[in-house]
Chain A
Amino acid sequence: MQDTLRTRMGWLHAWVGFAAGLVLFCVFATGCLAMFDTELTRWCQPEAPPQTDTFSPRSLDRLLPDVQDLIAQGEKPFITLPSLRDPYLRLQHHDGYEFLTVPYNPQTGERLAARVTVGGTFFYNLHYTMRTGIYGETLIALAGLALLVTIGSGVIIHLKGLVSDLTLLRPFASRLRAWLDVHVVASVPFLPFIVLMAYSGTFIRARTLFPPVSYTASIENVFRTPAPSVPETPEKQPAPPSRPFPPLAPILSEAERTLGTGQVGFILFLSQSILVSRTDASGPLLTREHVDFSPVDGHVLRHVLLPSPITHTQQVLDGLHYARWTGYGMRWLYFLSGVMGAIMFASGSVIFLMKRRRQSGRKIMFRIAEGLAIGSIVGFLMATVAFFWANRLLPIALHDRPFAEGYVFLAVWVLSMVAGLGWSGLHRPFQGWKIQLFCLGTLGFFLTPLDLATRPGASLFHAPTVFAATDLVALLVALVSFQMARRL
């Protein structure tokens, strides 16, 4: 009976795992990068030096003309205050596709001449939407459910060796055995993290799977053609010219009296109010508690905190998933766990292909699957490193520069996918894996020289900053890629 159950679970684990695994590899990899989205944005704006002056609340008023400009364009700008992760004042807004950010000196409020970039938020958006809006969100939520199924079946398959094989790794054994060990070591010790991320991630995006209206109505809405008589309304309405905002220093001081000293994260400017919100770093609960002020004279309008049990549950799960409360140690642990999650999916896909190569290697479906695996695993990483190359090499004055960075990422990914399918179609998949791994290694290896060459005031022995960390991680990826290409 048990053997039957294990066999059935093996089938479920393999097929659901492979089908969802290629998407989930990208989700885990982008999740890792999104852990350091602020730091990556700093890497993408090398004109802003690692250290700067201390924050002075009076500097906030210097940003107000730029805030007014954005409001006049119909945007909803917000100012992010300096924090341990980012020493700059930042004026941000969402242009419908990306969060665009401009750094300011935190003491004087002067605008820094930094390049326009999509920065680390690119990976944050990619993580939960795949840049395809609600459809991407639904796909990711479904992949999250598939992940829970894969984990459950995987635990049943591996139940006998769950404790005894916990630290068993034989990288120099036969290929299949080595990959199986890598798969188990990357998954079993990280089960608590993976289950937490799968559950909380699916919970956060539950509205895409369980919409507040009936499924029938949702599906009908998709296929319904809009009535021709209804004119299309533009997404953003230019706001009427607004009166000047009151000074922000007294507002900040008043908000800190309610939220606590140093507990303010950002100031959001709306037409009817100025929202001063608690920082996400204040604790494991992502409360988004805020104090609202009048934009006319700056008096307190209300204090908003949602204390019901349901919102409390959501705050806990949001806080655990986004991990914005964590210090650098815990942040790196999240990063490592995400990396191991990605390795789990990559190794699982490789095992799936290895086991079926002898029997089905000549079939067209197998070749497509292998081509997609090459493009999704190595191609995705290559596109990620290419994104950083594009950030440094694209002309600074380029129109729509953030879009161009995204296009480079997409172009490299598509190219890699096509090349992977081509090599696989020609019955030379190993050539495909090797060439792409070598390209990834080369791009990663030369990211450090590129950073040093294109960063103003860079030195080889710079302090352990976001630049050094990013360069070292890219170097590590490069070395692992070279080693894998060598051993294939």
Chain B
Amino acid sequence: MTIFVCTLLWSLSLLLQALHEPKMLRIAHLQRPAFLKPVRWTRFALPVLALMLCFLERASTAVLVWAATFSLAAVLVALGWSALARYREYFSMGARKNL
């Protein structure tokens, strides 16, 4: 359960980080969303929350679980983002054809 929650928190944090990167936005043909400014510190708070959860479950292995879930979340976000970029590329090509 901790692994699942930590992966979710890390995924959210990395997703917010990706939304802050101009290169990532450009690849996915996205504009910077307006809601990002108020939640810009959330991407740093979520990993801390995940670490606290890991410590609460078992202090001796907390850092290991925390690091492993970060890796898993990074792959999930990377795969999701590439799928989104592909979808958006098709979408923008279709729109151009209609014009």
| Residues in A lying within 8 Å of B, measured CB to CB | 163-172, 185, 188-190, 192-193, 196, 283-284, 320, 325, 329-330, 333-334, 336-337, 340
CA gap between A334 and B72 in the complex, in Å: 10
Residue of A nearest to B60 (CB): A284
A329 CA / B7 CA spacing, docked (Å): 12
The residue in chain A whose Cβ has the minimal distance to the Cβ of B61 is: A284
Q: Are B74 and A193 in contact (CB under 8 A)?
A: no
CB <8 Å contact, A167 and B3: no
Contact call B21/A164, Cβ cutoff below 8 A: yes
Q: A167-B14, A333-B72 are in contact. Are A192 and B67 (CB under 8 A)?
A: yes
- Tell me which residues across on chain B come within 8 A of A172, comparing CB atoms: 82, 86, 89
Contacts of B65 in A (CB 8 A): 330, 333
Complex: A283 Cα to B75 Cα, angstroms: 28
Determine whether B79 belongs to the interface, using a CB cutoff of 8 Å to chain A.
Answer: yes
Tell whether B24 is near chain A: CB-to-CB under 8 Å.
yes
Of B60, B61, B78, which contacts A167 at CB under 8 A?
B78
What residues of A have a CB within 8 angstroms of the CB of B82 in the complex? Answer: 169-172
Q: Does B64 contact A (CB under 8 A)?
A: yes
Q: Does B42 contact A (CB under 8 A)?
A: no
Q: Per-residue 0/1 for B66-89: is the Cβ within 8 Å of any A Cβ (1 yes, 0 no)?
A: 011111101101110110011001
Complex interface: chain A residues within 8 A of B78 (CB): 166-169, 185, 189
Alpha-carbon distance between A166 and B86 when the two chains are bound, in angstroms: 18
Chain A interface, DSSP helix/strand/loop, else mixed = loop
Which bracket fits the contact residues of B? 20 to 34
Question: B57: shortest Cβ distance to chain A, in Å?
Answer: 11
Contact status A283-B60, CB under 8 Å: yes
Known pairs A167-B81, A329-B3, A333-B3. 16 more at Cβ < 8 A? A164-B24, A167-B18, A169-B81, A172-B86, A185-B78, A189-B74, A189-B75, A283-B60, A325-B61, A329-B4, A333-B65, A333-B68, A333-B72, A336-B71, A337-B68, A337-B71
**B79–A166 CB distance below 8 A:** no
Residues of A contacting B14 with CB < 8 Å?
166-167
Query: How near does chain B come to A255, taking the closest CB pair, in angstroms?
Result: 24
Encoded as 1 (CB less than 8 Å from any A CB) or 0, chain B from 41 to 67 comes to: 000000000000000000011001101
Contact of B77 among A167, A170, A188, A337 (CB under 8 A): A167
The answer to whether B71 touches A340, judged by C-beta atoms less than 8 angstroms apart, is yes
Option from A166, A284, A320, A334 in Cβ contact (under 8 Å) with B74: A166
Residue of B nearest to A316 (CB): B60
The verdict on A169 contacting B71 (CB below 8 Å), with A320-B64, A330-B3, A333-B3 known, is no
CA distance A337 to B69 in the complex (A): 10
A168 touches B24 (CB 8 A): yes
A336 touching B67 in the complex, CB below 8 Å, given contacts A167-B78, A170-B27, A185-B78: no
Closest residue of chain B to A165, judged by CB?
Answer: B23
Contact A166 B68 (CB under 8 A): no
Contact A334 B68 (CB under 8 A): yes
Whole-angstrom CA separation of A106 from B78 in the bound complex: 46
Q: Could you tell me the distance between the alpha carbons of A123 and B68 in the complex, rounded to whole angstroms? A: 23
User: In the complex the two chains form, is B86's CB within 8 Å of A167's CB?
Assistant: no
Q: From residue 15 to 51 of chain B, which have CB atoms closer than 8 A to chain A?
A: 17-18, 21, 23-24, 27
A284-B60, A334-B68 given; A168·B75 CB < 8 A: no
Residue of B nearest to A337 (CB): B71
- B27's closest neighbor in chain A, by CB? A170
A residues near B17, Cβ cutoff 8 Å: 163, 166-167
Also in contact, A193 and B71, with CB within 8 A (given A167-B18, A330-B65): yes
The answer for the CA separation of A192 and B72 in the assembled complex, in Å, is 12
**Chain B residues near A336 (CB-CB < 8 A):** 71-72, 75
In the complex, residue of chain A having the shortest beta-carbon distance to the beta carbon of B69:
A333
Closest 10 A/B residue pairs (Cβ)? A189-B74, A192-B67, A333-B68, A169-B78, A167-B78, A169-B82, A329-B3, A189-B71, A167-B77, A190-B71
Docked CA distance A170–B70 (Å): 20
B18: A residues at CB distance < 8 A: 167
Q: How far apart are the CA atoms of A337 and B71 in the complex, in Å?
A: 8
Q: How far is the CB of A280 from chain B (nearest CB, A)?
A: 14
Chain A's nearest CB lies how many Å from the CB of B85? 7
Looking at A171, A188, A189, A325, the one whose CB has the most chain B CB atoms below 10 A away is A189
* A residues in contact with B61, CB < 8 Å: 284, 325, 330
24 A–B contacts, CB within 8 A, in A order: A164-B23, A166-B14, A166-B74, A167-B18, A167-B74, A167-B77, A168-B23, A168-B24, A168-B78, A169-B78, A169-B79, A189-B70, A189-B75, A190-B71, A192-B67, A192-B70, A192-B71, A193-B67, A284-B60, A330-B3, A333-B65, A333-B68, A333-B72, A336-B72
